[in-house]
Amino acid sequence: MWRATRLVVAALVALAALAACGSDDGTAEGSEDGDRAEQQEGYPVTIEHAAGETTIEQRPERIVTLNQQWTDALLALGEQPVAYVLDEANLETEPYPWQEGLLEDAEAITTNGTIPYEEIASYEPDLILANFLVTDESEYETLSEIAPTIPNLSEVVDDWQDHVEVLGEVLGEPDEAAEVVAEVEGELEAMAEELPGLEGKTFTFANYIEGDGIYVVADPEDGSTGFFTALGMQIAPQVLELEGADVGRVQLSFEQVELLDADFIGILTQGADPSALPGWDNLRAVRNGTVHEFEYTDVVGINTPSALSLPYVMDVVRPTLETVAAG
């Protein structure tokens, strides 16, 4: 049954050491058996996730990743997948900027919103890391027939820390995973300390689609809000009061632009000019120069945060946030 669960990672009892068969000199076969036993130490590992649980019998060496968050977590631990998916349905045509130079030994698999089972299988993976491409139990089961598969850990955007910690267990490197998490969290904490004026400041984060509407993030638990709240900021209160706010994103009409008013506005326009919106110039952030127009890749980095994308986004948006903090 497809269900949401809390993240649980359990390393099961290590396999018993293999008995030495013993040749005349007691070296060759005994050494091979000892190596094999050492390779199995700490395995199997069982990961609970949105589709149930997956058991990893030994350290995977040929991993295929189906989304950016899992790819980033793997790269942050110094590993490369044998192949990774670029989903053109999500405007992915090349690696993200924060992945530059880190996927040189990996092959790109291009798809358009569907799971390319045959191509995935051609890489003979021993682990598949999926995510939102997997939409139901049958897709998960089909992938699991190819190799052990870990999909979403929950039914919402996973915490990036969970991805790193899970892979730390799967790869037998929990200490390294803890170091990665501590380092990125430390960077966020340092930025908050360097910009104490952000504490209590309000923000809105929106997507302006010309000819359609404005879509504003209204969920304090959304993946994108974690970045701002880590810096001491909060969603503008009028956004939280919108009808339908509990679904995460609310559509505003162009006549409701005043609802974006905040100390900081982050907006994706994809080339459209928001100044044409009625009342745009009256917004506090517009008057104070604290509107940041995000590129699409930056929005991915903040909506589906990872150990690699967050430091990148911090650098991108820092100049605007410095203005907010100084205000």
pLDDT tens for 215-237 read 999 988 888 899 999 999 999 99
Is the pLDDT confidence value at 204 over 60? Answer: yes
pLDDT higher at 245 or 228: 228
pLDDT, position 1: 33
196-326 and 53-184 share a CATH fold: yes
pLDDT, position 105: 95
Is the pLDDT confidence value at 68 over 90? Answer: yes
pLDDT higher at 156 or 54: 54
pLDDT, position 40: 59
pLDDT, position 71: 97
Residue environment code for 150-167, b if the CB has 16+ CB neighbours within 10 A, otherwise e: bbbbeeebbbbbbbbbbb
pLDDT, position 246: 63
pLDDT band at 41 (very low <50, low <70, confident <90, very high): confident
Q: What is the DSSP string of 196-231?
A: GGGTT-EEEEEEEETTTEEEEE--TTSTTHHHHHHT
What's the whole-number average pLDDT of the chain?
A: 87
The predicted model scores a pTM of 0.84
User: In this structure, are strands 291-294 and 264-268 parallel, antiparallel, or unpaired?
Assistant: parallel
pLDDT tens for 295-311 read 999 999 999 999 999 99
Q: Is 278 exposed, middle or buried (0-12, 13-18, 19+ CB in 10 A)?
A: exposed
Q: What is the DSSP string of 286-318?
A: HHHT-EEEE-HHHHHHHHS--TTHHHHHHHHHH
Residues 95-108, mean pLDDT to the nearest whole number: 97
Q: Quick check: 275 and 257 in contact, CB under 8 A?
A: no
User: In this structure, are strands 149-150 and 202-209 parallel, antiparallel, or unpaired?
Assistant: unpaired
pLDDT, position 154: 86
Tokens of residue 138, six digits = 């049958």
275 residue type, one letter: S
Is the pLDDT confidence value at 15 over 90? Answer: no
pLDDT, position 109: 97
Tokens of residue 303, six digits = 């909506």
Cα gap 144→231, rounded to integer Å: 39
Is the pLDDT confidence value at 27 over 50? Answer: no
Residues 6+ apart with CB under 8 A from 232: 192, 196, 198, 199, 200, 201
Which CATH number is correct for 53-184, 3.10.180.10, 1.25.40.10, 3.40.50.1980, 3.30.70.260? 3.40.50.1980
196-326 homologous superfamily: Nitrogenase molybdenum iron protein domain (3.40.50.1980)
Cα gap 57→79, rounded to integer Å: 19
- How do the domains of the chain map onto residue ranges? 53-184, 196-326
pLDDT, position 143: 97
pLDDT band at 247 (very low <50, low <70, confident <90, very high): low
Q: Quick check: 144 and 42 in contact, CB under 8 A?
A: no
Cα gap 15→45, rounded to integer Å: 11
Name the one residue in this structure whose structure tokens are 């491409």: 133
Tokens of residue 219, six digits = 């969920």
